[in-house]
Amino acid sequence: MNPVKYLSLGVALLFAVCVQAETRSGLNGMVASRSALAAQIGSKILQQGGNAVDSAVATAFALAVVYPSAGNLGGGGFMMIAMADGRVMAQDNREKAPAAASRDMFLDAKGNVDRNLAVNSLQASGVPGTVAGLLDALTRYGTMTRQQVLAPAIELASKGFPLNDDLAGQFAENLEGFRAHPASLAKFTHDGMPYKAGDVWVQRDLADTLQRIADQGRDGFYKGKVAEQIVKEMQGNNGLITLKDLEQYQPVWREPVHGTYHGYDIWSMPPPSSGGVLLVQMLNMLEPYNLGKLGYGSTAAMHLMIEAQRRAYADRAEYLGDPDFVKVPAATMVSREYAKQRFSDFDPDHATDSTKVGAGKWPEESLQTTHFSVVDKNGNAVAITTTLNRSYGNRIVVPGAGFLMNNEMDDFSSKPNTPNSYGLIGRDANDIQPGKRMLSSMTPTIITRDGKLVMVTGSPGGSTIINTVLEVVVNVLDYGMSADKAVSSPRFHHQWMPDNVRYETGAISAEVAAELAKMGHKGLSGSGFGIGDANTIVRKDGVLEGVSDPRNVGGVAGY
């Protein structure tokens, strides 16, 4: 059998896929993604007999081709897998600090954080984990070969595909950043001129890299020619990643964060993601108050949720980091007892001043990412959130290899109490150390009830990710919304510091905003910006409803 021929999707068919955000229903399988092309590839894998893991791996590699601002080979992320037999697994393929990294590496002579160095340089790149993570998941839980799941991505990269307005616009917006790097300019422009919608975009270098991965497995990326290309670029531009860093990288399988909420089981990512811990912590704070009875969008419900967000994000800054390097009190933080204590000073009539909210205490014991969701006919589910950190990472393409490098090192706390690109404050738990994984907000989440799948969700959005997932979950479980309405409803965000409430147009009415302001909530700021991109699947009465978030161009494919 020729796997390439076996899974050839027909480029013409893919180009006909609707590129608008959409909702679809299906009985046998569903993929909800930021890219219609990637979703169609994932669905095709399901139709050809693959399970949810096969589909997720194929979708992820396709996103490296068709959604390069966040889909990637040079980044990392987190994966939740829930099998129909009740097993739930969490995989950490987060990037790691190179061996040559040091705590103060981004501080200038005056001790201040050099933002350009922390974001736009190759020193900002952590050791990539995406490829190792995807291949390991495929080997453990998939049913298809590497060649089969990689074939669609290789075809799209080698033959090309017509750019839509979304991608052509992204390339144009980032053009000045690409100009400083010849390989980036060559990849994202047509001989230095901006691409236009309808132009066919061919990525031969990326196709060659993907083919090496298909042929050689992880050695096709972490050793040999591709590894040498990465290191050559590092050595020529003060980067830190070495051949040894690449060869030694391994994904880690971790115990999922687990909580319950109104009888539903919540499964989400453990540290070094802060997502699962904060999600369960906030749900524990909210559960006694019956949000459904308070009413969607009411002043009481908004006040309650903002106060839960405020406290959870304060704990994030103090306690969360890579559990392989620091003691993370995750079990305590997701306990109902701790939530009760943490929320004991909640005042239903007044906002709390964030400057007076520190991290919780207990006795000593003796902005660019992408998320997609997959469900197969047997009820197996995968939630993957993957990223280069900021949109297009550091905008540096590895010459000859065709992919962008991440700038995840900025997710460390470069200096205590100094905000990163997303305004998040961190402390010693998330300081830079060689081999350490940087703290994340990614929150791929799977919800079950009585062992049966209910929901798969997650989102990009930097510091807003956790609250996006919280609000989608609450919309479904508390307010009884359909998947479409739960994802489409406007969102709000509070992250402790800075002490302000950001919200999308329509999330908070003028009347409620005025009442919240009287209660002491600060910086209420509504605008047309979007929060999150929660590509979600909900299973109800045996039917899968997949939603691509209408805030962005995306796609859903099911059958």
The residues, any chain, with a CB within 8 Å of residue 85's CB and separated by 6 or more, are: none
CB 233 within 8 A of CB 243: no
pTM here? Answer: 0.92
pLDDT at 413: 85
Question: Torsion-angle region of residue 6: left (phi > 0), alpha (psi -120 to 50) or beta?
Answer: alpha
**What's 127's DSSP letter?**
B
The whole-number pLDDT of residue 21 equals 46
DSSP-based three-state secondary structure for 137:
helix
pLDDT on residue 135: 98
What sign for the dihedral angle of Cα 504, 507, 509, 512? negative
- What is the reported pLDDT for 362? 40
386 belongs to the catalytic site: no
Q: Rounded distance, CA 125 to CA 143, Å?
A: 33
User: Which pLDDT does position 358 carry in this prediction?
Assistant: 67
Determine the pLDDT at residue 5: 33
Q: Of 369, 443, 457, 468, which residue is the catalytic one?
A: 369
Cα distance between the two ends of the chain:
25
Ranges of beta strands (E only) in 67-194 are 76-82, 88-93, 161-162, 189-190, 193-194
pLDDT for 439 equals 93
Helix axes of 299-319 and 510-519: crossing angle, nearest 10 degrees: 60
Q: Give all domains of the chain, ordered by start, each with its CATH number.
A: 3-251+372-430 (no CATH), 254-368+462-536 (1.10.246.130)
- Per run of 10 residues, the mean pLDDT along the chain (length 559 residues) is 35 35 88 97 98 98 97 98 97 98 95 94 98 98 98 98 97 95 97 95 98 98 98 98 98 98 98 97 97 97 97 92 94 96 95 80 55 97 96 96 96 75 67 95 97 97 94 98 96 92 94 96 84 96 96 93
Helix (H) / strand (E) element for 540: namely: strand 536-540
Instruction: For residue 525, give both structure tokens.
Output: 């700021």
